[in-house]
Amino acid sequence: MQRRGVERRRAMVDAAIALFARNGVRGTGVAAVAERAGVTASALVHHFGSKDGLLRAVLQEADRRALERLSATPAARPTVREAFDWLVRDVEHTAAAERELAALHTTLTAEDLEPDAALHTWFRDRNRALRAWLAEVFRRAVADGAARADLPVETLAAEAVAFLEGVHLLWLLDPERVDPAAVSRGYFDALAARVEGTAPGG
């Protein structure tokens, strides 16, 4: 019975991911999620309390998957190239297995741009955390002598995160013509050369 309950909950979260990604949170009702999951609306409310509760469960599931991938990173304090390799592999994974979550991330970000939006702080803080992680990678490289001493770490961290957001959007819009992993590999190889001062012009 407990396993069935877990499986039913997972089915509802997966259904919500698909519908939220396609129609947005505002355009998706509890009844539609319940129908896709093969349960009643009352069963969904029993598990999550409300659509807001369901949305929180969806975001928790997205974080769980991301942390699971991050835990597979071989180094706790990665070098620049190790960090970039992990980012590219994460793009590869997203393209192969997590299109709906990527679409949901893009949809929810667009819906919550205003500071008073329900999830604005959540997305802003996640974005800040990724930039801070990259900035720390760059600072360690400078301290270790593996990067230029004058490296603008905060600017480059923001640039890299902006690239990741952009390449996912471009791929979602035109998946038949955009290979996000190949584009990401080229970008991060070039960025690594800039960080190390080996790119043309330093």
Each residue of 5-14: pLDDT tens digit? 788 889 999 9
* Domain-located, residue 114: yes
Write down which residue in 13, 33, 63 finishes a domain. 63
Q: Is the pLDDT of residue 183 over 80?
A: yes
* Claim to verify: residue 86 and residue 142 sit in the same structural domain: yes
| CATH number for the domain that contains residue 133 | 1.10.357
* Domain-located, residue 124: yes
Q: Which long-range CB contacts under 8 A does 60-66 form with residues at least 24 apart?
A: 61/13, 61/17, 62/17, 62/101, 62/104, 62/105, 65/98, 65/101, 66/90
- Residue 117 gets the label, from left (phi > 0), alpha (psi -120 to 50) or beta, of beta
What is the spatial distance between Cα 16 and Cα 34, in angstroms, rounded to a whole number? 9
The residue written with tokens 């400078």 in the block is 142
* Domain-located, residue 56: yes
Average pLDDT over residues 143-161: 96
* Claim to verify: residue 125 and residue 177 sit in the same structural domain: yes
Q: CA 73, 79, 85, 91: dihedral to nearest 10 degrees?
A: 70
Which range marks the domain in which residue 39 is found?
A: 1-63
Residue 165: name the closest of 135, 200, 201, 124 by CA. 124
* Claim to verify: residue 110 and residue 199 sit in the same structural domain: yes
Average pLDDT over residues 19-46: 91
pLDDT at 108: 87
Q: Token pair for residue 104?
A: 């949901």
Average pLDDT over residues 42-65: 88
Q: Is the pLDDT of residue 65 over 80?
A: no
* Domain-located, residue 68: no
* Claim to verify: residue 52 and residue 139 sit in the same structural domain: no
* Claim to verify: residue 171 and residue 200 sit in the same structural domain: yes
* Domain-located, residue 110: yes
* Domain-located, residue 77: yes
Write down which residue in 15, 45, 63 finishes a domain. 63
Total domains, the chain: 2
Q: Token pair for residue 175?
A: 């998946």
Q: Is the pLDDT of residue 70 over 70?
A: no
All residues at 6 or more sequence positions from 14 whose CB lies less than 8 Å from its CB, including other chains: 37
Name the most confidently modeled range: 16-25, 39-48, 78-87, 156-165.
156-165
Condensed to tens digits (0 to 9), the pLDDT of residues 113-133 reads: 999 988 899 889 989 989 999
Average pLDDT over residues 142-167: 96
pTM exceeds cut of 0.85: no
**Measured CA angle at 48 (ends 47, 50), to 5 deg:** 135
pLDDT at 201: 56
Q: In terms of pLDDT, which residue wins out, 161 or 58? A: 161
pLDDT at 151: 96
